[in-house]
Structure 1
Amino acid sequence: MNVLKTIKIITIISVMAGTGCVFSPHSQKHDDVTVIVTAPPRAEPEHPRTDGMHINEKEHQHVNKGDRKGHVMDDRIPKNEVPPSPILNVDLALQSIKVQDGFKVENIVSEPYVFNPITLTFDANGRMWVCEMTRYMPDTLGTGEQAPEGNIAILEDQNGDGKVDKRTVFLNDIILPRTVTLVKNGILYADHTQLYFTEIIEKDGNLIPGVREVVDPTYAKGGNLEHKTNTMLYGIDNWYYNAKSNKKYQTIALDKPIPFGAKEIYRNQYWKLVRATSDYRGQWGLTMDDYGRLYHNGNSSPAQGEYLLPGSLLKNPTYWPKMGADFIGNGDIYSLRMNTGINRGYMNGMLHEHGDERGKLKRFTAASGSVIYRGDNFPEAFYGMAITPEPAANLISARHIIEQEGKLSGKNVYQQSEILASTDERFRPVNLYTAPDGSLYIVDMYHGILQHKEFLTTYLQNQIKARNLDEGNNTMGRIYRLRWADNALGVQPKMANLSPTELVPYLSHTNGWWRDTARRLIAQASINERDQNAIKAIQALVINHNDERVIINALWTLHAIDAVTYTTLKPLLEQGSTQVKVAAIAVSNKLAKTDHTAFAQQLLALADSDYRVALQVALNAGDIQSPIAMQASEKVLDTFIDKPFVREAVMSGAGLRSNELKTLLGQYPDKKMMYIINNLGKKPAERTNRAQLSAQGQSLYDLGKQLYNGAGTCFGCHGVDGDGIKGMGPTFWGSEWVINEPEILAKVLLHGLAGPITVKRHNWQTSMVMPGLANNLTITDKDLAAIATYLRNSWGNNADTASEIKPEFFSQIRQATQKQTTPYTQKDFD
């Protein structure tokens, strides 16, 4: 393996008292690496520090926030049997990593040129823009967490040898940076709360920040560090999508009308930013396949894929179905080392306890930023696989995606082993990316402590101390490349200064990163920069190319620049592959109205031809201003009514023409469809029983709502709308666990609940355990009563009319259940 040689630290200076150190702002050379700081001086914190240094240390000697009253946190594997976890230099770290035959792993960059990397993006010239969360958990108290010392650094390969040889600190005063993405003339990035725009100015060959402004003050507001919005993935439909969020963003020209359902939230001299609602998805990281479908994950599951394009079921303002996501394979993992250093490692079932696998983690517990590999370095057999890092088990796991009718699934690429795994406990892969050179880039935080202090248990704290994992943090970081050993890497891109016409050939590149980037640059170019030659070249690509991936990408590029024509779409609808037909229909909302009647005839002809095509016919019928389009939608319903998503697609796709569809369908002979029709406009997520509560109940309800979305972090697993998140937490809507017996709800809130459980006659299984709040010193009995009151009287629940759940009730249950030593199970209440 080629290893980046050890590099000496060059001059480092302290820029201000109490804020740590950064590289000298003067360009210096050492061992062929240039380090530059172009960031402005760090600002003083506006508020007193609220980090772990101010927490009562006496309390921490006895309890951590993740502890659960009565849990017996004994080691299931004696500490002296667990291998040590020393800090390894890059050479030794590479030796600790094992990959499957045919692959090899190389280090691209390491400390002192990258620190605590957690996410990155590539610009049009292939430079990496990296978020460095340099204050994340340096010790078990999270000391200094809120210090504004996080960076956005630019890492460059100037000589084309595939290794970083220049570091530029672009910004260095960010509190816990978590998101960075490219936009025209700048970047969007997020700290622990807000989304910002920073202008990029090129000066003397270096990139420096210009105007810096807040664009969304609520981007990541609320919740704790592990449950905040992140990612900003540029989707195929030219919207930026996020994990742990139901918001999406788009930059559009200053004179362009705002899309239906969106709201302008910011503008600068280049463009305006609009925000709209999307499907709520994921926890950390987001990725996309060639068709534009999004994939996310929960911490206890690998990639989860959405069968339809994002927003497909959000077109009708009087109807709110959930698209959901499918698990891509199971959550089993195969580690190379003992993984006792996990938060609930003391609980039965988390670790293997016998044989060669003794002490190893059984299933995902910290799944991080997945990727759908779309590069051109691996053999074709690996193209399109879903790859998910598991930093708690120091490995990366790969699954082939299987598409069935209305469903995605998957199977492991390797049986009972992983594509990559390490014996180094400090190897923390937290994000994966298809790189411009066609390989897979691995962001390794290289950090001893993975669990945030808000959830840290005393068990894990003791594990950390036993192997000195609280030492040497926040001073290291690595980015690796996984490549196919026998295949050459791609060339460094140089697209930043190309015109739209010059970018068109890259829409057909074999590497998905190049196709996506060319589409973004063309889409975000001004009208003055874009001429008819570019449009004609893209249309020719659509007509003449034989690769569906290229055709689909080109179609969405035409969609972004308002250049979709019926002449372009018609031959695709007649002769294209299934996915090409789906894309051609999906972009039809940009057709000129003079083409709607002819296009509606095409929809009617396709309505009974193929299930997947028919779904898209229904989903776009409301956009085509012709009664024939609604007839096509009815035909889809008649032909495929018992297949997944069909009823939802028909009603969502009707959009603003629901009444027209209702009239057409009449008394339709399907009870489920009539239930949908008869309940249009009735949004369960907005139904509340607050007005019917007592005065005290209303006060508790308001507090409970705040806690649900804040300190209680309930929304992280159960969704902002309380309807649950697949693989994480079940729905609260009409849940017997919430509304039937307040004593059961109180016990669960106090001491937690482990599955499987039955909710509304459906079996709910997840490896996640709902933690109780009994031992959380920041949550009082009044707070618990408030959360319970909110749960029991929101989303259509009306359990406490003229009453409330009293704080004294929780005090009584707390006293009566003080000997409860583990989370409850369903058997405890049967």
Structure 2
Amino acid sequence: MNKLLKYFLLLLTACFLVYCQANKPKESKQAVAVAENKVLPSEKIDFTTSPVISPQQSIQMMQVEDGFEVKLVAAEPLISAPVALSFDGKGRIWVVEMNGYMPDTVGTGEDIPSGKIVILEDSNNDGMADNRKVFLDSLVLPRAMCLIEDGILVAEPPRLWYYPINNDQPGKKVLVDDKYTEGGNVEHQPNGLYRAMDNWIYNAKSTKRYRKRGNTWEIDRTHFRGQWGISQDNYGRLYYNTNSENLLGDYFTPGLGATNTNQRSVAGYVKKIVADNKVYPARPTPGVNRGYMKGVLNDSLQLVDFTAACGPLVYRGELFGPAYASNVFVAEPSANLIKRNILAEQGYVVNGNQAYRNKEFLRSLDERFRPVNLHNAPDGALYIVDMYRGIIQHKTYLTTYLKKEIGLRQLTQPLTSGRIYKVVPKGKKAKLSRLPEDATGLVKLLAHENGWIRDYAQQKLIDGRLTEAIPALRQALQEKNKPLLVMHALWTLEGLGALTTEEVRGLLQEKVWPMRMQALSVLPSVLTKTSYTQYLPVLTQMLEQKDTLAAPYVAFLAHYIQPFDPSAADQLLAKATKTYPNNSYVADAVISNLEGRESVFLSQITASVPDTSVAIYKQLQRVTAYIENKQASRNPEILKKQFPKGVAMFTTICQTCHGQDGNGVASLGPPLNQSEWVTGDKEKLISIVLYGLTGPVEVKGHLYKAPEINGDMPGIGYNKDLSDEDVAQLLSFIRKSWRNDAAPVKAEEVVKTREKLKGRQKAFTVEELNKI
């Protein structure tokens, strides 16, 4: 009996196993291949599925530049949804985890405090993190951090906090800025917290910069830059981008020229550095928000141009070799790739080109590979923050088309993945190690080949107030054959409050331009009531000797002389204008000094500059026209009471691209103020806001197209959280704001248009709208 029972049980088990095998879900070809550690040719991969695969398998699906390899640094469960990282002097990695981002296609639970700041450590020195320590938890969508002094800045919208660090534990937090983010949604809010060479902390998507002096935090106005991610070159100039643009940046150092609020743009800032926006994915990429539109995807269903460009990084490590020095890498998570750009400099103009055609520095066949940030590191490698998420488009702009794509390949889950990789040359070791903290060791590091290490040494000397390093820093200023050492020593002395007038004057007269540039850039920090008279002759001489490279800087600097000697400042401006009347960079630098005096200055220069067709006149007239428009604008406080929901929606959704003043934002959106599309036919306006508009578009006689603006405006009609009344209030607000005075929009008019366009899946073109 027992034998029969055993036989029966064995037979039953066998039948069950056969049944399970027969009914087992079929795995995709690529899932089988990577499980066996094989790399399939792309033509044999089933791109109708996007399985979750291990980090090692994901690396197998990456195509990287010859001579390089990708290595895993950290992965789930050690980290989850990483969006940014930073290194400390111990070689540990601090990571921002944005766990709450888009849990599903409607953003359910985004406001749950699930974000964290964690510390990762490689305890056995094998190159991979193996220890996780939670420094902060219960954060709502944290987006950036910056280690400074004995603490850390953490951006948790809408606030910016500073936490002292005590034995890897947070102390009592200090509020730095209660309006770090003002409006905008999670895609369109400040981020970065990048500590630049000039000792200020800069952000993308922001006009603010920050600096800690003792126990006081200073907040200063700067130029509005980029969208997600920010980086600097070896001279401290900033680089950034928008989601549809490869690379933007500044020709001049960052702290100058943002002093006239009537000036909507300043020549030399927010410049297109690389105009080519083509991308070359390794796989079909139908899962992009506007994939339904003609020209977004090619015949192979691959993205044609950037749509989610982010995390630009000026590579400043020594590990890659001279050919890669100051190359700029840009992440594109929608196309699962990282682009390489090569820059060239002529005078103060920086331009660049893509390094390759029809290929990328790194691209992946894994749709879930989402590089959202790139970082330099103390080991010289290029670090990649891979959020490893299916959904990266925020709900505010998520089209019905993309929702369908997400569903087809089941991209909503999981939400607990995330990876950090590093790219290294084959055969070279990249190892994180503890860095010195003593003054002598840190000063030596200011000459290091690796820019991350130079920055670290400068910051550590300042943060520790290591005044015993001052004699060595003064000696470093004399080593003119090492320009990078001189620059970092200069800014370290500035941070310690120890720069002398003689030292700066000496550098102002150097033949090597980058050293003169840094001396000019540091002047706002050292000009005083007693010292400015010693700098004036040198600045005047630069203009008289037609030092074209220095001329815009001299004009910018008049702003800092003006409080001590208004007459001397105006004489500098007059001389700059007379010497360079048709130089647009000098003209805007001059205008940056003139807030409230633009019209007076315009009338004053007619004798010295009789030709009214030159740059200084054109650019001044543009500013005075803006002032007239602003003065004629309606009272915003009254509109807030009339259309409270409309104001809130405008601030959250529209302001980022179209400007608080409605006059548009360079590289993003055209003006709404006095736009015929806003004040004209209601049905056209409702259609645009509900379903979007793809450019080019003409506003007030000017044709706006990429790269002057983002070529596509997303619609908000796909967002089910927005009622018809909400949309009506938004449109009524913009039709009554600034110098607009059109009839308000009613909720029933929105309902009528929605019904008429029911089932529409794509943005409008101007041609389609004109048929309405």
Q: TM-score, normalised by structure 2?
A: 0.85
Task: Mark the CA change 1:142 to 1:829 in structure 2 (over 3 Å): closer, same or farther.
Answer: closer
Give the corresponding residue for 2:259: 315
Q: How does 1:224-239 map to 2 (within 5 A)?
A: 224-239=185-200
**What is residue 602 of structure 1 aligned with on the other side?**
538
**Distance (whole Å) between structure 2 residues aligned to residue 634 and residue 95 of structure 1:** 63
Report the Cα distance in structure 2 between the residues aligned to 1:87 and 1:280, rounded to whole angstroms: 38
| Per-residue CA distance 1:734-762 (angstroms, 9 max, x = gap) | 43433455554344223321112233424
- Matched-pair contact (CA < 8 Å) for 1:685–1:794: no
3-state SS of 2:209 partner: strand
Match of 2:158 among 193, 213, 216: 193
**Equivalence map 1:351-430=2 (5 Å):** 351-353=297-299, 358-404=300-346, 407-430=349-372
Asked if the contact 2:400–2:718 (Cα under 8 Å) also holds between the matched residues in 1, the reply is no
Structure 1 Cα separation of the partners of residues 120 and 596 of structure 2? 48
Stretch of structure 1 that moved more, 663-672 or 177-186: 663-672
CA contact (8 A) 1:301 1:327 kept: no
Distance, in Å, in 2 between the alignment partners of 1:799 and 1:611 is: 46
| Alpha-carbon distance between aligned partners in 2 of 1:827 and 1:416, rounded to the nearest angstrom | 32
| 1:370 alignment partner, SS class | strand
Cα distance per residue 1:655-707 (max 9 Å; x no partner): 899899779746543546357668669747854643499x8x77445543322
Paired amino acid for 1:294: L
Corresponding letter in the other structure for 2:450: N
**Could you tell me whether the CA contact under 8 Å between 2:556 and 2:592 is conserved in 1?**
yes
Separation in structure 2 between the aligned mates of residue 198 and residue 312 of structure 1, nearest angstrom: 29
1:116 matches 2:81: yes
Cα pair 1:601 1:629 within 8 Å, conserved: no
8 Å contact kept, 1:314–1:320: no
Cα distance 1:777–1:487, how it changes in 2: closer, same or farther (>3 A)? Answer: closer
2:531 and 2:429 map into 1 onto residues whose CA distance is 47
- CA–CA distance in structure 1, aligned partners of residues 600 and 627 of structure 2: 21
Does the CA-based 8 Å contact 1:781-1:810 persist in structure 2?
A: yes
Residue of structure 1 equivalent to 2:692: 752
SS at match of 1:827: helix
- State the Cα deviation string for residues 565-595 of structure 1 (Å, max 9, x = none): 2321233222332222121111112144433
Q: CA-to-partner distance for each residue in 1:519-540, whole Å, 9 max, x for gaps? A: 2223333xxx433x42232222
Residues 1:728 and 2:668 aligned together = yes
Cα distance in 2 for residues equivalent to 1:708 and 1:692: 12
Q: CA deviation at 1:231?
A: 1.6
- In structure 1, what is the Cα distance between the partners aligned to 2:263 and 2:62? 50
Secondary structure of the structure 1 residue equivalent to 2:549: helix
Question: Which residue is 2:493 aligned to?
Answer: 558
Alpha-carbon distance in structure 1 between the residues aligned to 2:656 and 2:556: 30
Kindly indicate whether residue 581 of structure 2 is the aligned counterpart of residue 638 of structure 1.
no
Paired residue type of 1:380:
P
User: 1:243 matched to which residue of 2?
Assistant: 204
Question: 1:288 matched to which residue of 2?
Answer: 232
Which of 458, 475, 481 is the aligned partner of 1:519? Answer: 458
Q: Verify: 1:787 aligned to 2:730, yes or no.
A: yes
Q: Distance in 1 between matches of 2:483 and 2:737?
A: 46
Q: Secondary structure at the match of 2:217?
A: strand
Q: Deviations over 1:130-153 (max 9, x none)?
A: 011223334434443322222211
Residue 536 of structure 1, aligned match among 459, 462, 471: 471
User: Secondary structure at the residue paired with 1:650?
Assistant: helix
1:504 corresponds in structure 2 to: 443
User: Is the partner of 1:104 in helix, strand or coil?
Assistant: strand
CA distance in 1: counterparts of 2:579 and 2:235, whole angstroms = 25
1:504–1:537: 8 Å Cα contact kept in structure 2? yes
2: distance between equivalents of 1:544 and 1:228?
42
Which amino acid counterpart does residue 459 of structure 2 have in structure 1? R
The residue aligned with 1:482 is 423
> Would you say the 8 A contact 1:318–1:681 is kept in 2?
no
Structure 2 residue identity aligned to 1:555: L
> Aligned equivalents of 1:784 and 1:450: distance in 2?
25
Change (3 A) 1:140 1:804: closer
Structure 1 residues 11-160: aligned runs within 5 Å: 82-160=47-125
The count of aligned residue pairs is: 714
- State the 1:386 CA deviation: 1.2
- Other-structure match for 1:52: none
Cα distance change of structure 1 residues 509 and 447 upon mapping to structure 2, 3 Å threshold:
same
Give, in whole Å, the separation in 2 of the partners of 1:224 and 1:404: 38
Deviation of 1:114 after TM superposition, in Å, equals 1.5
Q: How big is each residue's C-alpha offset from its partner over 1:324-380, in whole Å with a ceiling of 9 and x where there is no partner?
A: 331423111111111112222222222111xxxx12111111112111111111111
Match of 1:583 in 2: 518
Give the superposition deviation at 1:477. 1.5
Structure 2: how far apart are the matches of 1:349 and 1:181? 40
The residue number in structure 1 matching 2:714 is: 771
Contact 1:604 1:629 in 2 (8 A): no
Q: Residue 689 of structure 1 contacts residue 793 of structure 1 at CA under 8 Å; is this kept in 2?
A: no
Contact 1:326–1:407 at 8 Å: present in 2 too? no
Query: Quick one: structure 1 residues 804 and 475, their matched pair in 2 at CA, closer, same or farther if it must change by over 3 Å?
Result: closer
Q: CA deviation at 1:437?
A: 0.5
**How many Å separate the matches in 2 of 1:481 and 1:817?**
48
Label 1:743 to 1:396 Cα distance change in 2 as closer, same or farther (>3 A): same
CA distance in 2: counterparts of 1:306 and 1:465, whole angstroms: 41
Match of 2:270 in 1: 324
Q: Unmatched 5+ residue regions in structure 2?
A: 1-43
Q: Give the CA deviation at 1:649.
A: 0.3
Mapped to 2, the partners of 1:494 and 1:417 lie a distance apart of: 37
Partner of 1:211: 172
Distance 2:509 2:88 in 1: 38
SS across alignment from 1:167:
strand
**AA partner of residue 534 (structure 2):** A
Question: 1 CA distance for matches of 2:261 and 2:255?
Answer: 12
2:131 pairs, out of 161, 166, 184, with 166
CA distance in 2 between partners of 1:491 and 1:811 (Å): 59
Change (3 A) 1:140 1:675: closer
Amino acid paired to 1:479: I
Deviations 1:117-171 (A, max 9, x none): 1111112323211011223334434443322222211012344443223221112
Shift in CA distance, 419/700, structure 1 to aligned 2, threshold 3 Å: same
Distance 1:481 1:806, change over 3 A: same
Distance in 1 between the 2:176 and 2:557 partners?
Answer: 32
Q: Percent identity?
A: 35
Q: What is the CA distance between 1:825 and its match in structure 2?
A: 1.9
Is contact 1:194-1:221 (8 Å) kept?
no
1:423 offset after TM fit, Å?
0.8
Q: How far apart, CA to CA, are the structure 2 residues paired with 1:463 and 1:816?
A: 25
Whichever residue aligns with residue 536 of structure 2, its letter is A
Q: Which moved more, 1:785-794 or 1:443-452?
A: 785-794
CA distance in 2, matches of 1:764, 1:290: 33
Please say if residues 315 and 376 of structure 2, whose CA atoms lie closer than 8 Å, have aligned partners that are also in contact. yes
Aligned 8 A contact 2:695 2:704 in 1: no
Q: Please list every run of 5 or more consecutive structure 1 residues that lacks an aligned counterpart in the other structure.
A: 1-78, 254-270
1:513, distance to aligned residue in structure 2 (A): 0.8
Rg: which structure is higher? 2
In structure 2, the CA distance between the partners of 1:463 and 1:121, relative to structure 1 (3 Å rule), is same
Q: What TM-score, normalized by structure 1, do the two folds share?
A: 0.79
CA separation of 1:682 and 1:764: change in aligned 2, threshold 3 A: closer
Indicate if the aligned counterparts of 1:372 and 1:386 stay in contact, CA closer than 8 A: yes
